[in-house]
Structure 1
C-alpha cells in the first residue's frame, strides 16, 4: 500500500448548538492512499457529504466539527492538520492540494458568468503572475482534457448539457493538479451512458495525473467497478471497509449485504432483489446498541445493547467491520458466528467467510 495522502482520525460533527445537538459523524476514521480511489457509500442521510465538507472545512452552519483530526500530505511530503490551518493557509491548500467536485453541477456553476471565467478564477487566485493569454490557454487545455471543445469557453452553464456541466466541474477541480479529489455524487441525475463516460474519464485522468480520489455515492454497484477500496457508512459511522472485490464477493456487515442485494447482477443467473427493510434511523434517538439492529434480519440481543467496534474480523485480515456477528470475543464465547447461541441466529450464508 502506498503512503497516506489524507488521514481522517476520530472525526466528530454535530448539527445544532446548545445542550441537544444532533451527532451526525461519530468517530470516523478513514485513510486515503496516494493514487488510490476510495469509494464512500451509504443511504441518503448517512453522513457521506458531511464527511467531505468537514474534511475540507466547508461545512455550513449549523454544522460544527467537535473533535478529530484531518491530516493532508502535500506533493512535497509535508503533513498538516486541515482543522488547525489558519484561513490563509486553508485558502492556499484548497484547489492546490485538495479539491472537491460538488453535487449538482448546475447549482454549483454561476449562471451569470461564462465557463472560461469560472475556470480561470481559481487559477488567477493561486497564480497571480499569469497573463490573460496564459489563463485562457490553461482554461482551453482543461476543457479539452475532459473532452469539451475549447470554443465552449464563452458559453454560459445553461448552454451546456448536464454531462458537459459535470465535466466542467471536474476540469475546474483539476485546474491546479491537486493531490486529493473529493467527488460528491459526480454522476447524479445523469443517464447511465453519461455516467460511464464520466467515470472512465476520471479514471483515465487519475492514471495520467496521479491524484487520489474519494468517490461518494449511494450506488455500491458503481464503486465495485471503479474503486480500489470501499467504505460503507451508516448513521454517521463507518461500518465496513475493505477492498472493492471483498465487499462485493464477501460482505461482512448485513447492511453491506443489503446494499449489494438492492441492485441486479450484471452477470450470472437472475435473482430476486431483496432491498433493506425499514427506514434510516433518527440520529437524535439512537439507542445504546448497533444503529442497524432495528433493520437487521440477523440481529441478536447483544446488538441492541452494545455498540460494535470497527475492527478486523480476523487477525491479519486487511479489512474492518463493526458487527457482533464477527466479534472475535463473542465468537469465542459461543455467540454470533455460526453458533446461533442468541435469538437462534447464526452467521447467514451471504456473510459467511
Structure 2
C-alpha cells in the first residue's frame, strides 16, 4: 500500500476520543453516463472510529448501499465514482486512499483490511460448493503459503466463532437455514481478521428471533476482536440495540450524525424525527405513529435547496433555495459531538418538537 499524508478530520466527523479507521470524504457517485447522469451521492462525508459501531439509516433508495459499495470499490456499472476520498488507517497509523489503489493493492486490502457482508447470503454463496471449500478458498487467496490443513482449521474456528458446529463445513448452502447462511457470511468476512466490517442490511430477510441472535453475535464478536462496524439498515429501532453512533441519510446526503442515544431520544433533523415516529416505542405507553408524508425525491430531477423541504412541516423560503450543509446544531455548546444539515439550526430557530425529542 502507498501511505498518504495525515490530513485533518473530515467534515462529516463529530469529535471523538477514538482515532478514525475509515474516513469517507466528499464522496460523489453518479449512475449513468452522458449529459444527464443521476447524482446519487453528492459530496458525502462520514467517519468510522476505531472499535465503533456506526449505524447508517434511511429510507430505501437514499444511497446507503451505494455509499458502502463505492467506498469499497464494489460499485457495479453504471455506477461511477466522480470525486472524493476513502481513507483507511491501519493499527500502526499508516493511511491509504482506497480509491487510489491499483488492482493488486485493492485485492490485497479486501477481506484483510475491510470486509463486507451483503444483504442476500444465499446469492453471495456459491450453491455448488460446500461451505468449507468457500471459506478456505477465501483464506488461501490471501495466504497462499498457508497449508490446506491450517486453512481448514481456521475455517472451522471462524465457523464455531459465529455459533455453527465445524461439521457444517461439509454442508452446501441450500442445506442451511437463512440465519445460518448469514452467519457463514459473517464468518467468511472475519476469517482474515479485518479492521472494518461493513454489514449491508444483514438481518432484512430474517425473523425477529434470528435478528436478535445475529445482533447479539455481532456485538459479542466486536467486543472480543476489536473491529469496527458500519451497520446499514432502514430500521432505526434496530440500530438502537447495537450502534454507538447513527448517521441518517436522505437523498444521497448525511442529514444527521450523532451518538445513538441522542438520535433516539432527541432527533434534531425533521427527517430523523419522522423516522423515529414511524415505529412503535420500545417502552412506556402506546402512542400514535406519525410517519412521513410524501415520497422520496426523484434524484434525476432534484430541486434546488434542501431535498427534504417538500416533505418537511417546518420548511421556509430559504429551505427551497439553498442547500444546507452538515454542521453543528443550535445546541452545539451542550452537544459538540453532533452534526445536522438543517437551516432551522443554522438560524437558531428550532421548533419545540426538535428540542423535546420523541417519547420512548
TM-score by length of 2: 0.92
State the distance in 2 between where 1:306 and 1:318 align: 25
User: Which residue in 1 is equivalent to 2:48?
Assistant: 32
Instruction: Please list, as runs of the form range in 1=range in 2, the aligned pairs for 1:139-158 lying within 5 A after superposition.
Output: 139-158=155-174
**Structure 1 residue 23 and structure 2 residue 39: aligned?**
yes
State the distance in 2 between where 1:165 and 1:10 align: 35
Instruction: Please list, as runs of the form range in 1=range in 2, the aligned pairs for 1:313-352 lying within 5 A after superposition.
Output: 313=329, 314-316=331-333, 317-327=336-346, 330-331=347-348, 336-337=349-350, 347-352=351-356
User: Which residue in 1 is equivalent to 2:219?
Assistant: 203
Where does structure 1 lack aligned partners over 5 or more consecutive residues? Answer: 338-346
The structural deviation recorded for 1:315 is: 3.8
State the distance in 1 between where 2:66 and 2:216 align: 26
State the distance in 2 between where 1:121 and 1:188 align: 27
Contact in 2 for aligned 1:178/1:211 (Cα 8 Å)? yes
User: Which residue in 1 is equivalent to 2:190?
Assistant: 174
State the distance in 1 between where 2:72 and 2:353 align: 40
State the distance in 2 between where 1:351 and 1:187 align: 32
The structural deviation recorded for 1:248 is: 0.6
**Structure 1 residue 6 and structure 2 residue 22: aligned?**
yes
State the distance in 2 between where 1:129 and 1:307 align: 53
User: Which residue in 2 is equivalent to 1:273?
Assistant: 289
The structural deviation recorded for 1:349 is: 1.9
Q: Deviations over 1:25-73 (max 9, x none)?
A: 0011111010000000000000000000000000000000000000001
State the distance in 1 between where 2:18 and 2:339 align: 19
Contact in 1 for aligned 2:20/2:89 (Cα 8 Å)? yes
Q: Deviations over 1:203-250 (max 9, x none)?
A: 100000000000000000011121000000000000000000110111
Query: Which of 76, 83, 88 is residue 99 of structure 2 equivalent to?
Result: 83
State the distance in 2 between where 1:266 and 1:307 align: 34
Where does structure 2 lack aligned partners over 5 or more consecutive residues? Answer: 1-16
Q: Deviations over 1:236-287 (max 9, x none)?
A: 0000000001101110001001110011012111100111111110001111
SS in 2 for 1:77: coil
Q: Deviations over 1:170-216 (max 9, x none)?
A: 00000000000000001011011100000100010000000000000
Query: Which of 227, 239, 243 is residue 227 of structure 1 equivalent to?
Result: 243
Contact in 2 for aligned 1:37/1:215 (Cα 8 Å)? yes
Instruction: List, as ranges, runs of 4+ consecutive aligned residues in structure 1 with deviation greater than 3 Å.
Output: 350-353
User: Which residue in 1 is equivalent to 2:142?
Assistant: 126
Query: Which of 120, 134, 137 is residue 153 of structure 2 equivalent to?
Result: 137
State the distance in 2 between where 1:116 and 1:272 align: 49
SS in 2 for 1:213: strand
User: Which residue in 2 is equivalent to 1:342?
Assistant: none
User: Which residue in 2 is equivalent to 1:236?
Assistant: 252
Contact in 1 for aligned 2:332/2:338 (Cα 8 Å)? no
TM-score by length of 1: 0.94
User: Which residue in 2 is equivalent to 1:57?
Assistant: 73
CA RMSD of aligned residues (A): 1.0
Contact in 2 for aligned 1:55/1:82 (Cα 8 Å)? yes
User: Which residue in 1 is equivalent to 2:128?
Assistant: 112
User: Which residue in 1 is equivalent to 2:232?
Assistant: 216
How many residue pairs end up in the alignment? Answer: 338
